[in-house]
Every structure is written in C-alpha cells, then in structure tokens.
Amino acid sequence: MPDFVLRRRLLLALLMFGMLMLIGRAVFLQIYDKQFLQQQGDKRHVGVVTVPAYRGKILDRNNEPLAISSPVESVWVNPQHFKRNKKGELDKVALIKIKQIAQWLSVSKKKMKMLLNAKTTKRFAYLKRRINPQLAHKIRDLQVEGVYFEREFKRYYPAGAVSAHIIGFTDVDDIGQEGMERGYEHTLKGIAGKKRVIRDGKRQVINYKDIENIKDPVAGQDLILSIDQRIQYIAHRELQRTVIKHKALSASLVVLDAKNGEILAVVNQPAFNPNTRKGLTANVYRNRAMLDVFEPGSTMKPFVVAAALDGGYIDDAIQIKTKGFFRVGRNLVRDIHNYGTLDLTRVLKKSSNVAISKIALKMPKEYFWGVYKQLGFGNTAHAGFPGEASGRLLDYQRWHAFEQATLSYGYGVSVSVLQLARSYTALADDGILHSVSILKRNDDYDAKRVFSADTARKVRAMLEHVIKKDGTAYQARVDGYRVAGKTGTVKKAVAGGYADDRYLAVFVGMAPASNPRFVIAVMVNEPTAGKYYGGLVAAPVFSKVMAGALRVYGVAPDKEDTMPILLTRAE
C-alpha cells in the first residue's frame, strides 16, 4: 500500500479520534457535569444586588411633611468599559458624550482626567450621587458604554429653613447627621432588600423581567412630631425680623402647649436650608434652643416669689424696703433705681434685684435649691431631641449667702431656652410642671406638682402687671388677651466676669393669663442696634408669635375691656 494512502488514513483516523473525544467531552459536560457549569456561569453572570429601602417620613402634628424621600438615580462609571481604539485612545464620539455628561454633572476636570486615562485600573467611580430624574433621562439617552445608573433615595425637606434645626439632615448615604434625623435613625431607616440579577460580560444588568427577589426591602417608620408647622412658620418669620432689626448675633424661641408640655415650635436664627450642604457649619445648624445654655436673669424671679409663698416664708401682704442697694456680706446687690418699699406685685413689676434677694435669703438653702431642682434646672428636659443641654445648678452645700442672692435673679444658674419655657408651665397650669416632648402625644403622664394651685394663680396675676404700661414688658401685650410674663436683661459672662456692653434680651410669658394655652420663651443674643432690654427686644417677638398661635388655635379672648369690641365686629 502506497505511503500516501497510509498517511491519509492515519490522518483521518486522528481526526475521527479527535472528533470522538470532543463529542465525548461535550456529552460529559452537558449531562454529567451540568450542575458545575451552571454554578460557574452563575458566578460570572448572576449577581445579587442591594435594593434600597424607603426612609420613613417626618411629619408635623397635622401630618404635614417635614422630611420625605424621593426615588433618584446615581451615575457611576467603569472606565474599563469605555469604547477605545486599538491604541487605547477613547473613541471620539464617546469622548464628546462623556465630556458632555461631566459638564452636566459638574465633575471636576481632575477627576475626569483620571477616569479617561487609558492606564487607569479603576472599575467603579461615582460621577454624581442622587441626581434629578430629568437629568438622568438626558444622560441615559446618550447611551454611553461604561456609564451606568444606580437607584437610590434622596431626602427632601419641604419646609426648608423653617424647621431645619429640628429636623436636621442626612448625609450622602442617607444616614441621619443632625436633629431628629440623627436621633431617630433607628426608627426612620428601613431595612435594605436583595435581588438576584443577570449581567452581561461587562457586568451590566441585562435582565429586569426575570429578577428573583431574595428579600424585599422594609420601609422605615414615619415619625410624627408635636411641632405645628403653622406656628413654626410664624415664629421663624418674626424671629428672623428681630435678629435683622436689632443686629443680633443669634436668637432662639420655643412655644409649648401649657396643658400637656408638647413642643409646638422651636426656632433659631441664623437658619439654614437643609436641602443644600453649601456653607454648612455647626454654628449654623446647631439647635441653640435645646443645646445652648445661658444665665436666665430676672425671668427666675417669679419662682422665688412662688417658692417663698408656698413654703410660708413670706405672706401676700409683705412690704420690702429696697433703698436701691442691699449689702450681702462683702458684696452689694443693686437696683437700677431706688424703688422704695415694694409689695410682691411691684417686686416683679419693677424687677427689683434687692427685693428678690431679701426674699430668697428668707428661705433655707436646701429648700430653695429643691424648688429650682423640681423645676428641672440642672437636668435635661428629656424632650426626645439628641444632645439636649442639662444646664448647671450649683449644689446648695457650696452656696454662700451672696450665691443664694444672685441665684434669685438668675445669675449662677444656666438653662436652655427649652428648659426655661418648661419651667413656666408650673405657673401656667396652676402649679403643675409638665414634661416636654418633641413627639406628638395626648397626655403628659410625667407631670408633677411643684407649687400649690393657689400660689401659681397668685404669681400669674402678679406677672400680668409686668405687661402694664408702667411695667417692664408693655410691648408683650396681645390685643384681646390677658398676658402674664417676665423680662430678663442679662449681662453676658466673659473671662473674668461679666461684659458691660454685651447682653441677652429674654422674655417668657403665657396667654390667655386667665387659663393659659401657650407658653413662649424668647432669647435674643447680643442685640447691637441700640436697644437691648428684654422688654424692648424679646417681648415684641413674643407678642406677635403668641397672637399668631392664639389665632391659629381659635382661643377665645379673655380681656374684658376688648370683648364688646370683638363681639360687635363678629356681629
């Protein structure tokens, strides 16, 4: 047999053997090793992705939204998937489109240069997190290889700056950073879900129809606050006007429900817009009304009178000689004027430091300290806001006579605006001190009696005279309503003592005085436009906010001399 025939047959035999081997291998892989291959294929083309959960809403007491989450998309790139030529250069059309996307998203030139570099090893980089749907649609229409989208949620604050200090804000990963967003992170955040998806060779998800849900996302719980956005807006507007008018450094205001201690409004200036992160600093977004403390000054005097009356250390008919000064040991307590002899009503009306010091020194130190302690001074108000201030109240065992005297007119004790407002519920609700809450509730189960009802009513009646023409807070009056309150003009503490040209203007009051519905505390920090007295700076803010709150809640007037006019108008 010729050699060429043998070689041909050998070659054919080898080819047939190779084909049989391939067929055998294919049969083995398709039948006997099928499960292994499917597992390997799934590892490369089937993946598990996280499904973001909806963050719970924050609502005011009337279910008005204060913080909501909207579905958005984030844009990311894999530079390894960019279309390039054989030299590694980016395709010209793709380059134009990518530069257009970078311009729309305001991506820095430095970042784009790094991502477009042919030598980059990066496989994932965000171009922009949480863009609006319209922009995402424009980018998607360009159909650029290597540019992908990821669904997320973006937090939006409909009330903007009005409620910003209460609500706070979240970071780029939707985690609460300040305010209620931070304090109730565990309640608001949901539980992310998981789903199985199919990807192509470039790791892009290509199958959306046959996705397998592994675990459904669980939405976060909604949070209903005690805040009334209507009153919040009025307070924000008036406090802003006051800070501008008096060129103040800052200001804070709190509105409480006098009947159950709910916080209806908390406002601070300067304010900020939580929908943008530009210019955000702790000095701007800090909730001063709850976190900062100050010496409350003469706003403490009503409690000294109430404590002395309740303890039987003075009676209603007491007459106190002032002379304009009072020596306590080696120290001197002074009044602005010599008020002569004062009864209790005029002690509060004229805000006499001398008279109130003499009353304070009639009480045992432990008893006096105990009343302040019962009113909540030196302890956090436990309103439910993260980081609340506790203030400072020196232990009575370290008091000297002069410390006891100065404490009576609000020096040597520090409080937050919230604590100060809360303490006045003991006078507003006939001796019952209410706990406070930033969450909506119907009843206050932690309320406690501090003064007798008779004492609270007497002191409240005295505080009505503070609002009279010859009192210190005539500008706190509200047409149609009886108002009770107390001013405070406090020298700011500085290194080595107190400043002679830096003040806090304070006012705390309630209305209608016959049966108070609201308590409002106002503190204006360092007014510099000329006026700095509490009755001239803080009291007018109280008047406007209180008038708005009474109107919103439809509280009936209680001032007798205005009733006929109001009835005539109604007719």
Active site (catalytic) residues = 298
In this structure, the dihedral spanned by the alpha carbons of residues 6, 7, 9 and 10, taken in order and rounded to 10 degrees, is 110
How far apart, in whole angstroms, are the C-alpha atoms of residue 521 and residue 514?
19
How far apart, in whole angstroms, are the C-alpha atoms of residue 554 and residue 565?
17
> Prior bond to 564 cis, omega within 30?
no
From the list 513, 530, 515, the residue with the least C-alpha distance to 466 is: 513
From the list 79, 351, 68, 47, the residue with the least C-alpha distance to 197 is: 47
How far apart, in whole angstroms, are the C-alpha atoms of residue 422 and residue 169?
26
Determine how many CB atoms are found less than 10 A away from the CB of residue 46. 15
Phi first, then psi, for residue 350 (nearest 5°) are -90, -10
Determine how many CB atoms are found less than 10 A away from the CB of residue 318. 18
How far apart, in whole angstroms, are the C-alpha atoms of residue 6 and residue 11?
9
Q: Write the DSSP assignment of 322-338 as a string of letters.
A: -TTEEEETTEEEE-SS-
From the list 263, 255, 257, 188, the residue with the least C-alpha distance to 222 is: 188
Specify the residue for token string 């006012």: 507
Strand intervals (E) in 168-240: 169-170, 176-178, 193-199, 205-215, 223-224
> Prior bond to 270 cis, omega within 30?
yes
Q: Where are the alpha helices (DSSP H) in 312-452?
A: 344-350, 353-360, 365-374, 401-408, 417-423, 425-428
